[in-house]
Amino acid sequence: MPSSNNKYKTLSIILIILLLFASIFIFTDSENDDYDEAYKQQVDSLTNENNKLNDQITEMKAALLIPHDNKLKNNLDNDTSNDSQGFKEGNLNVEEKNVVDLVNKMHQGYEQLNETGDPEVVLKYFTPRHSTNEVSINVNNIPSVKNHNTNNFKEHLQSLANVEGLEIQLGKPYFKNIYVRENIFNTHYVANLTVRLKGEVVEEAVLIATISGEKKGNDWRIGNFSWMKFDQFGNFRLSEGNSAQQ
């Protein structure tokens, strides 16, 4: 029969083993709780950021969406809020008129892309180093972003020029502001965009654009072309490889 001391030793060992197992379970549960809490915080943070982004998009659409066709022109022609000399041609000085002429020629270059097959009809109006930024809001209010620069803008233009039967038509730009200071300019304007493929309309949009650039010699050139595009037409029938977006 075991002695009293042996019994106590055996019970002590069993107690220690039980405490060890208990501490393992407690530690594991604590780890899981910490992990779950961290995961929850991360999800909450991402959700909040997503909500903020959606709110910003809603605000931008509300602030920038401009009526189509004749309403667009009437609203802009009646606007007296701009603090430059004004966007009506009669109020512009010589250099501001040159900026207007540059924008019109760049638009014409886009319209000639498919006919000529030559990206230079657009690129010749840009500085050697340049960039473009596009934010598109489709008919389902889903945004997308595209960026090009000196390294890939020519390739992008060539891809548009290669689409058989593609026609890009940019309407008359209605200028909100034109700023010229010495050899630097910035302008903000609105225009309608229509894209056809083999005669069929595949895209209609309102283009809200900002262009910045500089004077090279006697000529003004574009350094950055940024625009927000609100699509008005939902039946896009161009494949992704033959996108006709600007």
Mean pLDDT of the chain: 75
The predicted pLDDT at position 245 comes to: 42
Indicate if the pLDDT at residue 126 is higher than 90. yes
- What's the CA dihedral at 34, 40, 44, 45 to 10 degrees? 40
- Distance between CA 105 and CA 37 in Å, rounded? 58
- Distance between CA 208 and CA 213 in Å, rounded? 17
95 versus 2: the higher-pLDDT residue is 95
Indicate if the pLDDT at residue 121 is higher than 50. yes
Neighbouring C-beta atoms of residue 79, cutoff 10 Å: 12
Of 122, 114, 120, the closest CA to residue 242 belongs to: 114
- What's the CA dihedral at 40, 41, 47, 52 to 10 degrees? 170
Indicate if the pLDDT at residue 40 is higher than 60. yes
DSSP string, 17-45: HHHHHHHHHHHHHHHHHHHHHHHHHHHHH
pLDDT digit string (tens) for 171-225?
Answer: 889 898 899 999 999 999 999 999 999 999 988 888 999 999 999 888 999 999 9
**CB of 227 closer than 8 Å to CB of 246:** yes
Of 135, 68, 100, the closest CA to residue 213 belongs to: 100
Of 114, 119, 130, 105, the closest CA to residue 224 belongs to: 130
Fold of 69-242: Nuclear Transport Factor 2; Chain: A, (3.10.450)
Is beta strand 166-170 parallel, antiparallel or unpaired with respect to 174-181? Answer: unpaired
Percent above pLDDT 90 for the chain:
43
Q: Where are the domains of the chain?
A: 1-64, 69-242
The predicted pLDDT at position 232 comes to: 74
The predicted pLDDT at position 99 comes to: 94
Indicate if the pLDDT at residue 19 is higher than 50. yes
Q: What is the mean pLDDT of residues 6-26?
A: 55
Indicate if the pLDDT at residue 45 is higher than 50. yes
The predicted pLDDT at position 241 comes to: 37
Paired with 200 in beta bridges are: 197
Of 97, 132, 124, 159, the closest CA to residue 223 belongs to: 132
N-term to C-term CA, the chain? 95
**CB of 185 closer than 8 Å to CB of 213:** yes
Alpha-carbon Rg for the chain in angstroms: 31
Indicate if the pLDDT at residue 104 is higher than 90. yes
The predicted pLDDT at position 143 comes to: 86
The predicted pLDDT at position 140 comes to: 80
The predicted pLDDT at position 246 comes to: 46
Q: What is the mean pLDDT of residues 120-132?
A: 95
**CB of 189 closer than 8 Å to CB of 100:** no
DSSP string, 188-211: EEEEEEEEEETTEEEEEEEEEEEE
pLDDT digit string (tens) for 75-100?
Answer: 444 444 443 334 666 778 899 999 99
The predicted pLDDT at position 125 comes to: 97
